[in-house]
């Protein structure tokens, strides 16, 4: 079987297993010659959206894993309340459906080496075509339509399943993520270097600022591993983004305890 896998967190670890079973696997690449496409989260939906015609024509099966649906995005304050923001959201959606348009928009980015006129134009293009809102319109229109066109939708937990059904009116099957217990139990002991560690993307939802404040008050030596996606969040402790899971486990083994200050998790994989 020919399989395409889109993801960075959970699914890449399945690639070796599929290949050992004799399957041909593509990672973060779509081909109309595949039989099944497995998508890790909503962040990859436009990679699939753009190929829906070929998918339907070739009979490719789409399997989605819904990592989370933060309930806060469905509160009234997140709704798009004016036509202006509605237009921006629509432009963002339409831009990502068309690869040529997306690549053209990405050509015009602010550049300190360019003149004032160019940068003014580039800023306007990025604002109108790249403004992104995680709100009711994004979920209830864009993401819901994508899930409706898929063959199988899997939720990481019963809680996520409940939210998807309640807000998106989409049925899912619960499929809990797993860990390799044998691998974890056989990790070699390491010298302790840190009092506490947090492993997650650096964004407001993950609430690392509370972790930092608590560590300062307690005088703890801490470490954060994860992509610094929101640069407005100031991190004044060692922090790195490491893709190699074996290296992450080695560092985790050098820590006394793990802290998860996140405000919301669809499942909460890292504590497990």
Does the predicted model carry a pTM greater than 0.85?
Answer: no
Q: Name the strands in the sheet holding 36-39, side by side, starting at the edge strand that comes first in the sequence.
A: 24-27, 2-6, 36-39, 61-66, 152-155, 173-174
For every residue of 183-228, DSSP letters joined together read HHHTPPP----EEEEEES--SGGG-HHHHHHHHHHHT--EEEES--
Written as tens digits, the pLDDT of the chain (272 aa) is 999 999 887 777 788 889 999 999 999 999 989 999 999 888 899 999 999 889 999 999 999 999 888 777 776 655 555 677 778 888 889 999 988 999 999 999 999 889 999 999 999 999 999 887 777 778 888 899 999 999 999 998 999 999 999 989 999 999 988 777 888 788 888 899 999 999 998 998 899 999 999 999 999 999 999 999 888 999 999 999 998 888 888 898 999 999 999 988 878 666 66
CB 46 within 8 A of CB 72: no
- pLDDT of 264: 83
Q: How far is CA 103 from the centre of its chain?
A: 21
User: Measured between alpha carbons, how far is 60 from 46 in angstroms, rounded to an integer?
Assistant: 16
Where helices occur in the chain by DSSP H, the ranges are 15-20, 45-49, 52-58, 83-97, 99-107, 116-130, 136-137, 144-148, 158-163, 181-185, 208-218, 245-252
- pLDDT of 241: 92
Helical (H) or strand (E) element with 256: strand 255-258
- Token look-up 């099944």 returns 36
CB 44 within 8 A of CB 6: yes
Q: Is 260 helix (H, G, I), strand (E, B) or coil?
A: coil
CB 225 within 8 A of CB 198: yes
Q: Is 15 helix (H, G, I), strand (E, B) or coil?
A: helix
- pLDDT of 183: 80
- pLDDT of 10: 72
- pLDDT of 224: 95
- pLDDT of 81: 58
- pLDDT of 162: 93
Q: Tokens representing 138?
A: 């994004």
User: Measured between alpha carbons, how far is 192 from 22 in angstroms, rounded to an integer?
Assistant: 41
- pLDDT of 138: 83
User: Measured between alpha carbons, how far is 192 from 15 in angstroms, rounded to an integer?
Assistant: 33
Q: Which domains does the chain have, with CATH numbers?
A: 2-71+136-174 (3.40.50), 81-130 (no CATH), 181-258 (no CATH)
User: Measured between alpha carbons, how far is 259 from 120 in angstroms, rounded to an integer?
Assistant: 43
End-to-end CA, the chain: 31
Q: Bridge partners of 153?
A: 64
**Angle between the N-to-C axes of helices 99-107 and 116-130, in degrees from 0 to 180, rounded to the nearest 10:** 150
CB 153 within 8 A of CB 147: yes
């Amino acid at each position: 079987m020919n399989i395409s896998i889109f993801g960075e967190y959970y699914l890449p670890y399945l690639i070796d297993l599929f290949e050992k079973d004799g399957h041909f696997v593509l990672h973060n690449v779509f081909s109309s010659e595949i039989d099944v496409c497995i998508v890790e989260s909503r962040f990859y939906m436009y990679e699939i959206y753009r190929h829906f015609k070929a998918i339907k024509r070739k009979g490719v099966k789409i399997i989605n894993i819904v990592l989370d649906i933060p309930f806060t995005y469905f509160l009234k304050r997140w709704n798009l309340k004016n036509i202006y923001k509605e237009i921006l959201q629509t432009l963002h959606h339409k831009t990502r459906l068309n690869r040529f348009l997306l690549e053209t928009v990405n050509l015009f980015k602010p550049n300190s080496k360019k003149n004032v006129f160019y940068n003014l134009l580039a800023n306007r293009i990025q604002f109108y075509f790249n403004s992104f809102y995680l709100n009711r319109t994004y979920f209830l229109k864009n993401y819901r339509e994508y899930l409706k066109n898929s063959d199988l939708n899997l939720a990481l937990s019963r809680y996520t399943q409940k939210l998807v059904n309640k807000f998106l009116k989409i049925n899912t099957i619960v499929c809990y993520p797993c860990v390799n217990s044998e691998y974890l139990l056989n990790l070699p002991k390491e010298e302790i270097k840190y009092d506490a560690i947090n492993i997650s993307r650096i964004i407001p939802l993950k609430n690392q600022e509370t972790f930092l404040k608590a560590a300062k008050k307690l005088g703890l030596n801490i470490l954060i591993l994860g992509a610094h996606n929101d640069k407005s969040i100031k991190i004044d402790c060692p922090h790195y983004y490491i893709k190699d899971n074996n290296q992450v486990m080695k560092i985790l083994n050098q820590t006394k305890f793990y802290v998860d200050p996140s405000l919301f998790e669809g499942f909460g994989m890292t504590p497990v």
